[in-house]
Amino acid sequence: MRLIDADALDFEFDRRCFSEEDENYVRGVDEAIGVVKNAPTINPGEWISVKDRLPEPFISVLCYMPGEQPFPTVHEGFVSNNGIWHSNYFNREPGEVTHWMPLPQPPEEG
């Protein structure tokens, strides 16, 4: 157990709650909430252009490659920090994968 000075703690709370740092913190939190509210939403089942944004690195997604012959293909894959797409089936340079979408949720056990 550690004994504390309750008066000093009360003073510190008052100092932090009414200081400029606290106002900056509150503004920062408000700004973060605004960013989240204004962020684009992803609808499950919609393809996302790599021109619009990339998935988080190393997160598995469905990848669409229109230039594959004889037919366009869709594979599970992920993008690395350097922009290269990878999977068990391919390693592709940026530009070869044109669209991606999050993987669907697994089925519920039943």
Residues 31 and 53 in one domain: no
> How many angstroms from the chain centroid is the CA of residue 58?
11
Q: Which domain holds residue 21?
A: 6-38
Q: Report which of 72, 36, 42 is spatially closest to residue 54, judged by C-alpha positions.
A: 42
The pLDDT score that the predictor gives to residue 69 is: 63
Residues 52 and 96 in one domain: yes
Residues 87 and 55 in one domain: yes
Residues 64 and 23 in one domain: no
Residues 10 and 56 in one domain: no
Q: Has residue 1 been placed in a domain? A: no
Q: Has residue 107 been placed in a domain? A: no
> pLDDT (tens digit, 0 to 9) for every residue of the chain, 110 residues total?
344 455 565 566 556 555 556 677 767 656 765 665 565 555 667 899 999 989 999 999 998 888 756 667 888 899 999 888 888 777 766 568 899 999 888 888 86
Residues 52 and 87 in one domain: yes
pTM here is 0.55
Domain count, the chain: 2
The pLDDT score that the predictor gives to residue 107 is: 86
Number of other CB atoms surrounding residue 73 within 10 Å: 13
